[in-house]
Structure 1
Amino acid sequence: MRISARTPLLSRTASALLLAGLGASAAQAAGVIKIGEINSYKNQPAFLEPYKRGMELAVDEVNRAGGVNGKKLELITRDDNANPGDTVRVAEELIAREKVDVLAGGFLSNTGMALTDFAKQRKFFYLATEPLTDKMVWSNGNAYTFRLRPSTYMQVSMLVEEALKLKKKRWALVYPNYEYGQSSVATFKAKMKAAQPDVEFVTEQATVLGKVDAGSVVQALADAKPDAIFNVLFATDLTKFVREGNTRGLFKDRNVVSVLSGEPEYLDTLKAETPNGWIVTGYPVHSLKTPEHKAFFDAYQAKYKDYPRQGSVVGYAGIKSLAEGIKKAGSTDTDALIKAFEGLQVVSPFGPITWRAQDHQSTMGAYVGKLKNVGGKGELVDYVYRDGKDYLPSDEEVRKMRPQ
């Protein structure tokens, strides 16, 4: 547009405003959508290194397809040092300095809860990818927080179905003594007692996260003489517990029901020490042949020359959900995003999931099966997919639990 000296002042002003507007629109269209992701990368590398790869694969796929609403995704990651205080500090820095559009991440339940509260205080959209605590979407839930993975309530409910089939009376409990472990055990005890009133819990071993004294824990469990064990330990604590339990014969002729223990990142570490017959939630990465999973598996292997882990699925599905939500909202405006995510449907490597409006929990499920040591490596066998929607409380129950 050419503006001459003879153009009337009003016309020249209008033209200038139009040019400025076109420039702003062009800059906005050429911009990026910044995802600020916070996690315990140094503290939990077995899960979070594959998780980061899953996110990066999804970002690449979205950007190759043209981005979201004409914008490319940019992933900005930070480490929270597995500390709630550091988590909040980093979240503030991502918003103030990096100008991120949304927050995502969290692995440990305590850091996830810190982000949940931060999102509420700052009225900022937060997608919790990994934290499993029930409080995140129920008693401490808020409008700004959405959670991807099946919670402790959901996964424990799936396992209780299998535990009841064992018809065992005397149960021992072992778990990390923080929110995730405490809520897992509380759900297990309540559901078992409701369905099998004569059940007994003969000992509880609550351990310090990351610092399990496996020898004393295994000895205490053996002394209690349980018929079966419910285990919630994971990562290095799980490895130490299994090693000591195998050495002392704790698992011989004794049923074990265990949360998360069938995930590849933990089986990779256990290797030949993988116990046979444990009933677990996990991910049958090598034998799962659904179309959604095959497409994801092939793309992941082509990019990284390695197979995905549970974390890879979570990271990938988290980014894909954000992309679909932002696309539906037409922007990264917080209120628009909240509205878009309520009822949003996304295809994940585990199949279709829906983000529930009533509690902001996704319906992603989990695989339930048994551990088997095959040639010195642990695998999940005899598994079945449990759809998350079948293990969530009703709308009426959610209304009672969730703040108004």
Structure 2
Amino acid sequence: MSQMVMDDEQPAPTRKIIHIDMDAFFASVEQRDSPDLRGKPVAVGGGSERGVVAAASYEARKFGVYSAMPSVTARRKCPDLIFVKHRFEVYKAVSRQIRDIFEDYTPLVEPLSLDEAYLDVTENLKGMSSATEIAEEIRARIWEATQLTASAGVSYNKFLAKLASDQNKPNGLFVIKPAMGPVFAAALPVKKFHGIGPATAAKMNRLGLFSGQDIRNQTLDFLEQHFGVSGRYYYGISRGIDHRQVKPNRERKSIGAENTFFTDTTDFDTAWSFLEPLIDKVWRYVDANQIKGRTVTLKVKFSDFRIITRSRSGLAPVANRAELTAFTRTLLEGVFPVAKGIRLLGVSMSSLGEKDHPQAEQLSLSL
């Protein structure tokens, strides 16, 4: 992270950042392509007892149905919920259409996922002076090309642009001007801050930090004492300060694969048999792309949905598939015996790099 100004005076902003977030993207694509689904509560994902919601339409969200929710819970919240199978190739194709529109305005596009991205339009290819006008034009072009709606946030940094895009969802636009930034951040509950997850928000609450203003009232030393290097980031964003650049190529953090069992298992051999094809998938990608990684991580989700991870790092990168297999097996052996059945296993490699340069953007492989 670049050096951060450590006083309450906001430096003169020089950048114009847009955050575009497609509205209920997967579910909206399904409703677009199947008119009989329009206006109805739709969930993309497995509708079986062991399924998980990958995405939910706004009609479903009114009932409290959200992504990553177990399907049984979603059905309980919304008995009329309609499940549809995912079509990731279709979503990728639509995402590419949208990305092409972005690149008509700026080469500085940082995708976060298939359905959202940052754009730095400070100096743009259209020569337009207003980032708000660019955001409006992009939203109109997305609708024309895909018949899908997008929400946009416009501000002078990434943190505030991301927050802004959530303000008028769906199909809305919100602008946080330089004079508004510090005030907006100060009034926001910490749980709404992008980059502060539930566990960190709970820790902040225990320390008496419930809003951006509460964070702002603390010294940098206090925040670094309790949150380590992240304390410096929190110190800045509570003041509306974020110097992160929009990076077209984001550093990849890990490469992994995971799978959910049809039936929970407490048997080691059964669990291992499920892990082996995941190891194959990870190593094939690593080997084909000449990626090196030093850390192997095992992910385990139990029948009560509790998740644990176990990792092992070496001084040198993992040399071959046999070594990846050995590390993974050792990690799995450390988990057994288990008190509850296992419903999901995953394996990943991190601390990645190629022969010449770091990899770009995090990638997760699923089976």
The TM-score range, normalised by the shorter chain, is under 0.3
Q: Give the structure with the higher percent helix.
A: 1
User: When the two structures are superposed, what TM-score results if normalisation uses the length of structure 2?
Assistant: 0.25
User: When the two structures are superposed, what TM-score results if normalisation uses the length of structure 1?
Assistant: 0.24
Q: Which of the pair has more CA radius of gyration?
A: 1
